Amino acid sequence: MVESYSKNANHNMRRPVVKEEIVELMRTRQAQNTGFLKELEDFARKENIPIIPHETTAYFRLLMQVLQPAAILEIGTAIGYSALLMAEHSPTSKITTIDRNEEMIGLAKENFAKYDRRHQIELLEGEAMDILPNLEDDSYDFVFMDSAKSKYIVFLPEVLKKVKVGGVVVLDDVFQGGDVARDIMDVRRGQRTIYRGLQRLFDATLDHPDVTASLVPMSDGLLMLRKNVETVCLDIEEN
C-alpha cells in the first residue's frame, strides 16, 4: 500500500477540461498499453499515484517516435511510468529524471531495474531546484515538467538554460481543472498559490518571442514551449 497519495489527492485530474465523453473516447479508443507499461499504469491507478493519463500516454508515444530526442530531462518521476514510456518509444534517448519523494524513488528504482532494459534512464534523487543548476547547460532536446505546479515558474528559467535551441519543454497539468480561466476569488483558497503560479507562468511565456508556446487541452492541460534563442529572458513578476 503506497502512503504518499490519499484518495483525495489529484482531484484536478478528475475535473476534465474537455467534454467527458471525449475524454472517455480518448481513453478507450486509443491503443492501450500492454506488458510492463500496463502493469505500472494499473498499479498507479490502484494506488492513486498521479501518473500521466491515457490520452497523454498516446500523445507521448507519438511525440517520442517523431522527435526521437537524444537527451530528455524529466522533473517528477513518481514510479517511473512516463520515463519508461519515453524510453520505450525513443530507444536511443538518454533520460535524466528527478524526484524527491523517498517512497516514489524506491518504487522507481525497482521498476527501472526490471524494465529499463537498454539502461537509458538515470534517476537523480532530491529537490529539483537543488539539482537543476548542476546539470549541463544547452544539453537537453526535450523536457517533461510534471512536479509541483506552483513551482513551474520558479523552475522554468533554470530549465530553459538546460535546453538546446529548438528543444521542447512540456509542462503538465496547467489548467487546474479549469480554475486558471476563472477569477481568483472564485478559486478555493487552498488552490490559490497554484493559481497564482500558473498565471505567472502564462504571463511569462504565452506571448514571449524567445519561446513559441502552445496550450494543449489534453488531460489537465499541457503547455508546450519551443526554445527559440540561446538565452531566454522571461519577464517574471514577483508575487
Ligand X SMILES: C[S@@+](CC[C@H](N)C(=O)[O-])C[C@H]1O[C@@H](n2cnc3c(N)ncnc32)[C@H](O)[C@@H]1O
Residues making up the binding site for S-adenosyl-L-methionine: 52, 82, 99, 127-128, 146
- Interface map 80-99 toward ligand X (x if CB under 6 A): -xx---------------xx
CB of 118 to ligand X, least distance (A): 18
CB of 22 to ligand X, least distance (A): 21
Kindly state whether residue 104 participates in binding ligand X, applying the rule CB under 6 A: yes
Q: How far apart are CA 100 and CA 149, in angstroms?
A: 15
Residue reference for cell 508575487: 239
CB of 221 to ligand X, least distance (A): 14
Q: Which stretch binds ligand X (CB under 6 A): 17-25, 78-86, 184-192, 217-225?
A: 78-86
Please name every residue paired with 75 in a beta bridge, in sequence order, or none if there are none. Answer: 98, 145
User: What stretches of the chain show up as alpha helix (H) in DSSP?
Assistant: 20-29, 35-47, 54-67, 81-89, 102-115, 128-131, 152-162, 192-205
DSSP state for residue 163 in the 8-state scheme: E
Pick the binder of ligand X from 24, 42, 127, 237 (CB under 6 A).
Answer: 127
- Interface map 138-167 toward ligand X (x if CB under 6 A): --------xxx--x----------------
Kindly state whether residue 78 participates in binding ligand X, applying the rule CB under 6 A: yes
> Helices 81-89 & 102-115, crossing angle to 10 degrees?
30
Smallest CA-to-CA distance from 220 within 159, 142, 124, 152 is with 152
